[in-house]
Amino acid sequence: MKNITILGAGLVGSLLATLLARRGNRVQVIEKRPDLRVKSWHDGRSINLAMSERGWQAMRLVGVEEAVKQFAIPMHGRMIHDPHGKLAFQPYGDEGQCIYSVSRSLLNQTLITEAARHGVQFLFEHKCTAIDLQTNVLEIEAPIQPPPKGEERPHPSPPQGEGEKSPLLRRGLGEAGGPDLLFGSDGAFSSVRLAMMKRPRFDYSQDYIDHGYKELTIPATPGGDWAIEPNALHIWPRGHFMLIALPNPDKTFTCTLFFPWSGSPSFDEIQTPAQLTDFFAKTFPDILPLMPNLADEYFRNPTSALLTVRCYPWTYQDKAALIGDAAHAIVPFFGQGMNCGFEDCTVLDGIIGQHPEGDWQAILRAYEQARKPNADAIAELALQNFVEMRDKVADPKFLLRKKIDAHLFHQHPDRWVPLYTLISFTATPYAEALAIGKRQDAILDTIMALPDIENCWETMDYEPYISGQRSEVRGQNV
Ligand SMILES: Cc1cc2nc3c(=O)[nH]c(=O)nc-3n(C[C@H](O)[C@H](O)[C@H](O)COP(=O)(O)OP(=O)(O)OC[C@H]3O[C@@H](n4cnc5c(N)ncnc54)[C@H](O)[C@@H]3O)c2cc1C
């Protein structure tokens, strides 16, 4: 049994806590935010997320699939809104195959509750300010608790006023009663990663894209119903930018505008409510009447940046490891950041199971070697998918290509599986899916260049094109 500290009670940290506790470890989670179960907060990041097969596998592993399904809304495909308000539905897969819109807050609460049920101790409103991996000391800031009735504050008095904090509490990893192992599930700007960066030969890069994002809302109709089709992920593709909308259980939709920071049009350019309304009327005419609070929300809600973080190694000796966004933050365009972080946990749990002797150095090494190539692959795919979502989904050539892709899948399911299906509906390792996708893309390029393909695609013999493809696809279709 190990004493383990997990830094960050976000989606990944709270899932990991259950898995580690179930394996007999003593687990403590330190989180700078308040406990979501008693005090709701929103940090400006997506209110809801798309959960797909890899996420569900993790939910099944910890036994919360049914609980999460209670508030998960199936989305069977993309609903494309053209600039004239015309709709086109593009299914994600076969009938019954769907991804789910899940509330970030409810999911996080469910995972925290499950971890607490397994005896995990949570310390909320405790912020880690420094980590020394050599001495295994964490520095933590905690809020001042009001002194118990009849007692005075300790002296000397801490500073008063805004952000009033106690003097730093020092927690030693490895000291009697303290943790032996530290997991950094503390997100894209991880403190654990920062500590690792001070070690020699730690590779690190962060790349921002030229687009930021802002969240907006489509409320329920005055009659309390959905304003647009609930069982779809809505996209308003507009070339180099886009708006998307995912449904919420209260019949609202959370929309996200992915928009350039500067240039025309851009966040920089839209400065007044009149400019905003004018822009929406021209660009998203069908949605403007559905957003009565557009200007309020647009000028009140934060505009946030999007980045890819790559680093390696993810572990330090047998003492520390990065997981989730702390190891691999990616842009959100394949809806896989959380799913990938959950898969990190599933894979790590499997590796722990293969090491009953509890050799943590070997466990952590095997974990980072298994996950790093897959994290790199999904980072690449997520960047590519932005172009597909904001631009290609409205292009007739692209739609024909998608039809042929699906047709080949139906004709040869053992030899051809569309990339989207591999990523969202199977557990095929991301790196393998990327390689398969590249091979299939090259074949589709050849097919699309055939004369009269628009008219003969349904009756063509594709055998000469696809022969030489792999004969088996790993993972399970759901
Ligand atoms: C706009 C947007 C849309 C997205 N949509 C999807 C989607 O549809 N599907 C999907 O799979 N993924 C999606 N993602 C990605 C997903 O949000 C992340 O991959 C996921 O939240 C990562 O979880 P995590 O637990 O690793 O990190 P986080 O969720 O960032 O959690 C980190 C936690 O650590 C805490 N913390 C940080 N620093 C400290 C500290 N010093 N001390 C104590 N606590 C600390 C934070 O408060 C936080 O609670 C989206 C991301 C964005 C930005």
Beta strands in 60-114 (DSSP E): 73-75, 77-81, 87-91, 99-103
- What is the CA(322)–ligand 1 centre distance, in A? 13
- What is the CA(193)–ligand 1 centre distance, in A? 15
Residue type, 259: F
- What is the CA(272)–ligand 1 centre distance, in A? 31
**Residue pair 343/251 in contact by the 8 Å Cβ criterion:** no
CB atoms within 10 A of CB 13: 29
- What is the CA(409)–ligand 1 centre distance, in A? 34
Rounded Cα distance between 227 and 310, Å, is 39
- What is the CA(245)–ligand 1 centre distance, in A? 19
Task: Name the token pair of 182.
Answer: 């530290």
| Dihedral angle sign, alpha carbons of residues 231, 233, 237, 243 | positive
From first to last of its 478 residues, what are the pLDDT tens digits of the chain?
A: 899 999 999 999 999 999 999 999 999 999 999 999 987 766 666 689 999 999 999 999 999 999 999 999 999 999 999 999 999 999 998 878 999 999 999 999 999 999 999 999 999 999 999 998 877 678 888 776 665 565 554 443 443 343 444 445 555 544 444 578 999 999 999 999 999 999 999 999 999 999 999 999 999 999 999 999 999 999 999 999 999 999 999 999 999 999 999 999 999 999 999 999 999 999 999 999 999 999 999 999 999 999 999 999 999 999 999 999 999 999 999 999 999 999 999 999 999 999 999 999 999 999 999 999 999 999 999 999 998 888 787 788 999 999 999 999 999 999 999 999 999 999 999 999 999 999 999 999 999 999 999 999 999 999 999 985 433 444 433 2
What residues line ligand 1, using a CB cutoff of 6 Å? 7-13, 30-33, 45-46, 49-50, 127-128, 185-187, 191, 213, 256, 324-326, 332, 335-339, 341
Best of 49, 54, 99, 424 to mutate for ligand 1, by most ligand atoms within 8 A of CB?
49
User: Measuring CA to CA, how many Å separate 110 from each of 69, 246, 344?
Assistant: 11, 20, 19
Architecture, CATH, for domain 3-74+101-205+308-383: 3-Layer(bba) Sandwich (3.50)
Is pTM, for the whole model, over 0.85? yes
